[in-house]
């Protein structure tokens, strides 16, 4: 594993973020907590978006301290209304949003729909990040912001054991872009592929939004953080390997090392103006051809924007 280990005492963020507003989703989770902590330590006012606001505030205050610029916005981002309400609450309080780290994500063992009728991976691993970026567009433009989507390299390869054979990216049927409720259908559903497809949607739409917002000085990039010992790993590990859980975790990156990749994209002065890229941790990486198809990007953007604009 090509991982740069960080020492807990060293700040990951080199820039001074005083006066900047940073929005972080999945703020109470493994990597999200570190992202909030490091951005607050660098002086940012952090808006932490989480499902359980009191618990998250308690957890975050333990590390960022009582006086750091921190507010917690409660939101279930699997719901369209949850995304809309969170964006409205943030937008009302902050005319400028300088950093948006769309970090919330989940892997589900089976296929279930949200009350809105979309498959859950589509909702959490794609629509949440798209929606916040879309609905906060004015606030992002006002700050010439950086947007970072935390994706996953499963979008390049859905094999969980990569010993033999070739990479197997998730398939994306352009016909399913007619309606968000068609994505990740029941027919042939495989949970890990559904997760990977939702991340592929995130990167595909990210390329498009990067082009749209480039003239306004807003950058949009996606990143695979590495394989990191967080809660999501317990959901992703195949059942046969679960007894080895503690051993597997020890071989993985720490949340702090994983978070460093998104933090770098969000704050490194050397990356100012860099947009429309996908990073495998610190290196620019390729994504499946379909993600670069301009017609696919446009259709995905149209159907997703309609979802939030109605
Ligand atoms: N760990 C890895 O190896 C790995 C690899 C590639 C990509 N990633 C991506 O990295 C990101 C961070 O994940 P993590 O590894 O830190 O895992 P994690 O500890 O499970 O954190 C995931 C976060 O997403 C939040 N979330 C899930 N569903 C949500 C919903 N409906 N509404 C609002 N928030 C929701 C969780 O909130 P709660 O605290 O309320 O559950 C949690 O804070 C995810 O996007 C994940 O897909 C992780």
Q: Which residue CA neighbors atom 47 of ligand 1 most closely?
A: 105
pLDDT of residue 267: 97
**Cα–Cα nearest to 106, from 267, 230, 288:** 230
The tokens describing 147, both together, are 């947007």
pLDDT of residue 1: 40
Average pLDDT of span 33-52: 97
pLDDT tens digits for range 210-252: 999 999 999 999 999 999 999 998 888 877 888 888 888 889 9
Index of the ligand 1 atom closest to the CA of residue 154: 6
Question: What letter would DSSP give residue 217?
Answer: T
**Cα–Cα nearest to 11, from 46, 44, 37:** 37
d(Cα 77, Cα 74) in Å, to the nearest integer? Answer: 9
All residues at 6 or more sequence positions from 286 whose CB lies less than 8 Å from its CB, including other chains: 156, 278
pLDDT of residue 5: 63
Question: What letter would DSSP give residue 170?
Answer: P
Q: Give residue limits of the domains in the chain.
A: 21-309
pLDDT at 48 over 50: yes
Of 5-9, 44-48, 131-135, 239-243, the one with minimum mean pLDDT is: 5-9
Residue corresponding to tokens 């932490």: 48
pLDDT tens digits for range 58-96: 999 999 988 789 999 999 999 999 999 999 999 999 999
pLDDT of residue 134: 98
Whether pTM > 0.85 for this model: the answer is yes
Q: Helix (H) and strand (E) counts for the chain?
A: 11, 8
Please state the φ and ψ torsions of residue 83, each to the nearest 5 degrees. -70, -45
pLDDT of residue 238: 77
Average pLDDT of span 120-134: 98
Q: Which residue CA neighbors atom 15 of ligand 1 most closely?
A: 230
**Cα–Cα nearest to 96, from 19, 177, 178, 211:** 19
Three-state DSSP at 69 gives coil
Three-state DSSP at 287 gives coil
Tell me the CA–centroid distance for residue 145 and ligand 1, in Å.
Answer: 23
Q: Which residue CA neighbors atom 17 of ligand 1 most closely?
A: 232
d(Cα 238, Cα 49) in Å, to the nearest integer? Answer: 29
pLDDT at 179 over 80: yes
Which residues on adjacent β-strands are paired with residue 99?
Answer: 22, 146
21-309 homologous superfamily: NAD(P)-binding Rossmann-like Domain (3.40.50.720)
pLDDT of residue 132: 99
pLDDT of residue 240: 81
pLDDT of residue 2: 43
Q: Give the DSSP letter string of 124-164.
A: IIIIHHHHHHHHTHHHHHHTT-EEEEE--GGGT---SS-SS
Tell me the CA–centroid distance for residue 150 and ligand 1, in Å.
Answer: 9
The tokens describing 189, both together, are 């559903």
The proportion of the chain whose per-residue pLDDT surpasses 70, expressed as a percent, equals 96
pLDDT tens digits for range 1-35: 444 566 666 668 889 999 999 999 999 999 999 99
- Ligand 1 binding pocket (C-beta < 6 A) is 26, 28-32, 50-52, 75-78, 103-106, 124, 150, 152, 224-225, 227-228, 230-233
């Amino acid at each position: 594993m090509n991982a740069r280990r960080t020492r807990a005492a060293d700040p990951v963020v080199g820039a001074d973020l005083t006066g900047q507003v940073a929005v972080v989703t999945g703020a109470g989770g493994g990597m999200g907590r570190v992202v909030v902590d490091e951005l607050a330590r660098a002086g940012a006012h952090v808006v932490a978006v989480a499902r359980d606001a009191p618990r998250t505030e308690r957890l975050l205050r333990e590390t960022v301290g009582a006086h750091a610029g921190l507010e917690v916005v409660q939101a279930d981002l699997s719901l369209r209304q949850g995304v809309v309400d969170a964006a409205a609450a943030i937008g009302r309080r902050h005319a400028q949003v300088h950093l948006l780290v769309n970090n919330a994500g989940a892997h589900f063992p089976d296929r279930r729909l949200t009350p809105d009728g979309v498959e859950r991976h589509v909702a959490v691993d794609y629509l949440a990040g798209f929606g916040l970026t879309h609905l906060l567009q004015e606030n992002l433009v006002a700050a010439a912001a950086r947007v970072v989507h935390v994706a996953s390299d499963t979008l390049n390869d859905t094999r969980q054991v990569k010993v033999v054979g070739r990479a197997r990216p998730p398939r994306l049927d352009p016909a399913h872009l007619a309606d968000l409720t068609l994505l990740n259908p029941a027919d042939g559903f495989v949970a890990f592929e559904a997760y990977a497809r939702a991340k592929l949607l995130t990167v595909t739409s990210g390329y498009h939004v990067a082009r749209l917002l480039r003239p306004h000085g807003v950058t949009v990039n996606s990143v695979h953080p590495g394989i990191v010992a967080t809660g999501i790993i317990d959901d992703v590990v195949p059942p046969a390997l679960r007894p080895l859980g503690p051993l597997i975790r020890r071989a993985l990156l720490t949340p702090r090392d994983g978070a460093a990749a998104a933090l770098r994209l969000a704050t490194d002065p050397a990356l100012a103006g860099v947009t429309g890229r996908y990073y495998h941790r610190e290196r620019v990486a390729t994504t499946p051809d379909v993600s670069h198809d301009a017609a696919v990007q446009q259709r995905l953007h149209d159907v997703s924007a309609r979802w939030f604009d109605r």
